[in-house]
């Protein structure tokens, strides 16, 4: 869901940069030394998952797993996503440096929203935890698609068709995101529950 350079208007790019700066500053304050390894691992997971993408007009469709990042990292999602997108822009020319702020906002802000809605996950019931994780994964991706579509729509009428296409193209990906997030969360509940119910939710 990377937005390419030279597409969005300067006010939208500036808005994304401001939100990202604020989010990263807050996330870094919450990033303690013991959480650095898991943050780096999830940032790498996001990096790899979003490498395989299908171009859709000025954007693209791919797995994101931002819902998973949000559930585990909370506010720390912002710096984790920023690092991954920066490396993708530098190494693979996905997105770009001028769109780094808006792309980070599009991925991290929905992750932060699902963190507040679905965190903490139900501890007692595996089925409820799986359902909450599925909804978190699907909703985070859907909200990211909505943000991209809104930004394209506000940039110009010529992008309206692409904005609608982006939302439609991500509907099946939402199901995959939700399933993958639910599987990973249920696995973590069995082997490392403290990741879901410990520091990450503090």
* Mean pLDDT, the chain, integer: 85
* pLDDT higher than threshold 60 for residue 151: yes
Which of 37-51, 71-85, 118-132 has the lowest average pLDDT?
118-132
pLDDT value at residue 139: 94
* Whether 103 contacts 66, CB under 8 Å: no
Q: Classify residue 194 by burial, with Cβ atoms within 10 Å: 0-12, 13-18, 19+.
A: exposed
pTM of the model: 0.85
pLDDT digits (tens, 9 = 90+) for 18-53: 999 999 999 999 999 989 999 999 999 888 887 766
What domains are there in the chain, each with its CATH number? Answer: 10-201 (1.10.1760.20)
% of the chain exceeding 90 in pLDDT:
49
* Whether 69 contacts 112, CB under 8 Å: no
Instruction: Dig out the tokens for 186 from the structure.
Output: 């249920």
In 50-98, alpha helices (H): 66-73, 77-92
Query: 53-56 and 59-62: which strand pairing?
Result: antiparallel
């Amino acid at each position: 869901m990377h937005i390419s350079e030279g597409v969005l208007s300067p006010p939208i790019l500036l808005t994304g940069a401001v939100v990202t700066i604020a989010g990263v500053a807050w996330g870094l304050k919450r990033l303690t030394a013991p959480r650095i390894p898991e943050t780096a691992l999830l940032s790498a997971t996001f990096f790899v998952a979003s490498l395989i993408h299908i171009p859709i007009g000025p954007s693209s469709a791919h797995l994101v797993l931002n819902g998973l990042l949000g559930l585990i990292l909370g506010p720390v999602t912002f710096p984790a996503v920023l690092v991954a997108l920066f490396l993708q822009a530098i190494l693979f020319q996905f997105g770009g440096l001028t769109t780094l702020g808006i792309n980070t906002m599009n991925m991290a802000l929905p992750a932060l929203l699902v963190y507040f809605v679905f965190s903490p996950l139900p501890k007692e019931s595996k089925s409820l935890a799986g359902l909450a994780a599925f909804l978190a994964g699907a909703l985070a991706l859907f909200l990211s698609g909505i943000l991209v579509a809104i930004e394209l729509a506000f940039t110009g009428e010529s992008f309206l068709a692409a904005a609608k296409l982006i939302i439609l193209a991500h509907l099946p990906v939402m199901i995959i995101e939700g399933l993958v997030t639910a599987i990973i969360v249920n696995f973590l509940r069995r082997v490392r529950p403290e990741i879901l119910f410990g520091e990450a939710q503090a």
